[in-house]
Structure 1
Amino acid sequence: MCNLNNLDIEVLKYHKQKGCDYSKSLARALNIKLCEAFEVHKKLLELGYLEKVNSKFTKYKLNNNTKIIKHRNHTYYQLSQKGKQFLKELTS
């Protein structure tokens, strides 16, 4: 398979559920240190499981149903096709 640990997989699942988000929000949600969130985002980006969101505005899920649009003040990440495929294979 690949060299992803449990935290990496949790982050991918988080992005599948929430959509795009930034490291500080991820750290709060998963109760991890901010430096860990930065590192896992960097690792998953380099491995191709995540991609940076390029638009100036972003949509994301607030409580699984409510989507809000806001101006990006941080670097936002979302699942790439590779990340989506990995999660699909993981659950099948």
Structure 2
Amino acid sequence: MPVRHDQDELLDLTILAYLKKLGPEYAKLLAIRLGLSLEESRKRLQSLEERGLIKRVERRIVKYYHRRRKSVKHRNHTYYELTREGELFLREAKKKIDINLDIEYPKR
């Protein structure tokens, strides 16, 4: 899958990096944390899902534990997480373009 260097692709890479570092997330909170509108967040998530880079995690409680943060995700949202293809795509994109995609942990 070729890497496009436009604004949408950079936003997609940022979303993938976020999901890789912080685990499953839902559209509204992702929009807030990345400074996007809810509509733009949903549009980018749908695009990534259609490309097979993320998948939905529905109808169950999603628990995600990280060594630095413990968070429990609840079933009243549709969460998205990286697929294996998404992780490989992100790794290859980081090699091809010179951009810092390090995501900071949100402040509480």
Q: Give the TM-score of the pair, scaled to structure 1.
A: 0.86
The residue aligned with 1:14 is 18
Q: Give the residue type in structure 2 aligned to 1:19.
A: G
CA distance in 1, matches of 2:73, 2:20: 19
CA distance in 2, matches of 1:89, 1:61: 26
The residue aligned with 1:91 is 94
Identical counterparts, % of pairs: 36
> How far is 1:68 from its partner?
2.0
CA distance in 2, matches of 1:70, 1:34: 19
The residue aligned with 1:66 is 69
Any idea what SS the aligned residue of 1:27 has?
A: helix
* Residue ranges of structure 1 left out of the alignment (5+ in a row): none
* Residue ranges of structure 2 left out of the alignment (5+ in a row): 96-108
Q: In the alignment, which of 47, 50, 62 is matched to residue 46 of structure 1?
A: 50
Larger Rg: 2
- Structure 1 segments of 4+ aligned residues over 4 angstroms from their partners: none
CA RMSD of aligned residues (A): 2.0
**Does the CA-based 8 Å contact 1:60-1:68 persist in structure 2?**
yes
